[in-house]
Amino acid sequence: MDIDVFVQLMGSSLRLATPLLLACLAGLFSERAGIFDIGLDGKMLAAAFAAGAVAAVSGSAWLGLLAGIGASMALSVVHGLASITLRGNQLISGVAINFLASGMTALIGQNWFHQGGQTPQLTADSRFLGIQLPFAEGLSSVPIVGPIYSNFISGHNILVYIALLTVPLTWWILFRTRFGLRLRAVGENPGAVDTAGISVVVQRYQAVLICGLLCGISGAYLSTGMSAGFVREMTAGKGFIALAALIFAKWKPWPALGACFLFGFLEAFGIRYQGFTIAGVTVPVQFMQALPYILTVVILAGFVGKAIPPKAGGQPYVKER
């Protein structure tokens, strides 16, 4: 494999990893605070639709992004209401949110644009396009460093860089701020946090809203960054791969980057080399598609290091009276 092909493959891995990474970090905030979220996919889908629709109507990708975040956070509020205030089953709430997004986007999309649930094709200026970092042109002729810089590091749209910056930011918030300490504490031992006079409810709502914000960016990236418009079911289970990546990364931000990049790479590799042959055996495309899920099951089964979720995850907190 020559260097150009390899760099291109890495570049597309990064682009495919971006929505996973944003959704994965979204889940990380929520689950670290003790709220399981299997509705990541639904929130992404709702955001992708809202972003695509608003960008098409207004002509502004940024307004689209805001709309996407709004739609996603609205679903977060529903999830928060169900799992924090009403102490309902968080998993069932997540399932409901996935179906709600799937049905509503298709229903409203068909009703609004009459294009079989799609939003109109976006023009170049209502999308997030790749940006050339400084010196990308000039350096591209330099061997090795040149192609890596101009094809792997430079040339992505702004949301890719935002996603990458979210990783250290998440690490800093969770492990270097008082807010982060409390957030992790309500996910491990909410009773102790409550005893210290801090509201578990407020803390958990904040986490769930951050989760909505990041899922919103992730969804907007799908419809206004990676492609030019919304298509029905366009998340195609990406929210679940993000969930898988979160477990794979054992609920930590930097490993989340690694896991998402790995899953992005598997997808990019699968697209580029459909049915490749290794040691005389042709590996089916379907195997490559299933690989992230298989890897996650292996990790979950604890055969390769144990994945231990936050202790109070999934349990509603009942304040003592």
Partner 1 sequence: MNDKLPRWVDLALIPLINLILAFLVAGLVVVFIGEDPIQAVRLLLVGSLGSSYGIGFTLYYATTFVFTGLAVAIAFHAGLFNIGGEGQAALGGIGATLVCLAFDWPHWTLALPFAILGACLFGAAWAFIPGYLQAKRGSHIVITTIMFNFIGAALVVYLLVNVLKVPGSMAPETRNFAEGTHLPFMHEILGVFGVAISKTPLNLSAFLALVGAFLTWLLIWRSRLGYEMRALGFSEPAAVYAGIDPVRVTIIAMVLSGAMAGMMALNVVMGFQHRLVLDYVGGAGFVGIAVALMGRNHPVGVVIAAILFGILYQGGAELAFDMPNISREMIVVIQALVILFTGALENLVRFPMERLFVKSGTRTG
User: Residue 60 or residue 89: which is nearer to partner 1 going by CB?
Assistant: 89
Instruction: Look at residues 55, 54, 227, 223 and name the one whose alpha carbon lies nearest to residue 126.
Output: 55
Is-contact 19 238, C-beta < 8 A? Answer: yes
271 near partner 1, rule: CB under 8 A: no
User: C-beta of 84: minimal distance to partner 1 in Å?
Assistant: 11
Which of 6/112 has CB closer to partner 1? 112
Cβ neighbour number for residue 36 with a 10 Å cutoff: 21
In the list 103, 131, 142, 202, the residue contacting partner 1 (rule: CB under 8 A) is 103
Task: Report the residue from 30, 72, 93, 235 that binds partner 1 according to the rule CB under 8 A.
Answer: 93
Least Å from the CB of residue 113 to partner 1? 12
Q: How far is the CB of 243 from partner 1 (least distance, A)?
A: 7
- Compute the least distance from the CB of residue 81 to partner 1, in Å: 7
What torsion do the CA atoms of 81, 84, 90, 93 make, to the nearest 10 degrees? 0
Cβ–Cβ < 8 Å for 3, 144:
yes
x/- binding map, residues 129-168, to partner 1, per CB under 8 A? Answer: ----------------------------------------
The one among 3, 5, 77, 107 contacting partner 1 by CB under 8 A = 107
Q: Using the rule CB under 8 A, is 45 a contact of partner 1?
A: no
Task: Spell out the residues 6+ positions from residue 93 whose beta carbon is closer than 8 angstroms to its own.
Answer: 39, 78, 79, 82, 83
231-270 footprint of partner 1 as x/- string (CB under 8 A): ------x--x--xx--x-----------------------
Q: Which is nearer to partner 1, 76 or 154 (CB)?
A: 76
Quote the CA–CA distance of 94 and 40 in Å, as a whole number: 8
Q: Give, as ranges, the residues between 280 and 299 that touch partner 1 (CB under 8 A).
A: 284, 286-287, 289-290, 293-294, 296-297
Stretch that binds partner 1, among 23-31, 47-55, 106-114, 125-133 (CB under 8 A): 106-114
Q: How far is the CB of 86 from partner 1 (least distance, A)?
A: 4
Which of these segments, 5-13, 107-115, 198-206, 219-227, binds partner 1 (CB under 8 A)? 107-115
**Three-class SS of residue 249?**
coil
Q: Is 158 exposed, middle or buried (0-12, 13-18, 19+ CB in 10 A)?
A: middle
For residues 294-310, one letter each, b for 16 or more C-beta atoms within 10 angstroms of the residue's C-beta and e for the rest, the string is ebbeebeeeeeeebebb
Q: Name, in order, each residue with C-beta under 8 angstroms of 3's C-beta and a sequence gap of 6 or more.
A: 144, 147
318 in contact with partner 1 (CB under 8 A): no
Contact between 21 and 258 under an 8 Å Cβ cutoff? The reply is no
Q: How far apart are CA 126 and CA 123, in angstroms?
A: 6
Identify which of residues 37 and 194 has a Cβ nearer to partner 1 in the complex.
Answer: 37
- Return d(Cα 41, Cα 23) in angstroms, integer: 8
Say if strands 281-282 and 277-278 run parallel, antiparallel, or are unpaired. Answer: antiparallel
Under the binding rule (CB under 8 A), the answer on residue 110 touching partner 1 is yes
Note the residues at the interface with partner 1 (CB under 8 A). Answer: 38, 78, 81-83, 86-93, 95-100, 102-104, 106-107, 110-111, 117, 237, 240, 243-244, 247, 284, 286-287, 289-290, 293-294, 296-297, 300-302, 309
